[in-house]
Amino acid sequence: MILSDRDLKRRLASGSIVVEPLDDPEVQIQPASIDLRLGDRFLSIDGDLAHDVGDGEAFVLAPGGFALGATAERVRVPHDLVARVDGRSSVGRLAVLVHATAGFVDPGFEGVITLELANLGSRPAVLQPGMRVCRIVFHTLTSPVERPYGPERGSKYSGQDAPWTSRLERVQRTGAVATGARR
């Protein structure tokens, strides 16, 4: 089951779900989701170039471009829920994808959510920090998990505070390499 606005407000008030800072609950809490805002730090596709966007500045994603961003909000998912992150339709109508594959948020996750931003359009996309860029939907589990996502199980992205690059390890068989750099 998906949590409704009523359940989201109740769980936020009790601290069971954490989405902070939730600057404008009247706008951000939707009928069955919570809108999340874009943070002000971006990483290029190779993960080596960090861009911190200052007040009033925007991040411009070139046509065909890809960058990592993050939500402005820190999220904590309790052990009895799982969450999905999807782009908002207003952003999708600009030909911007918010995540390539990583829309699933495990029970026990805590941190900002890294966004895989891709511009499928033919014009540059202007991404303003603070804009509502995606939504998070919480689903109930049949029971709380036994081993939640987090440092105790060695989860790779637990506690992230900015966009992090891939933490895949070197693949010996194919010789392919994925960077594990944090920022």
Active-site residue list: 116
DSSP element (H, E) containing 139: strand 132-140
Q: What are phi and psi of 92, to 5 degrees?
A: -60, -35
* Phi-psi domain of 48 (left: phi exceeds 0; alpha: psi -120 through 50; beta: other): alpha
DSSP code string of 20-68:
E--S-HHHHB-SS-EEEEB-SEEEETTS--EEEPPTT--EEE-TT-EEE
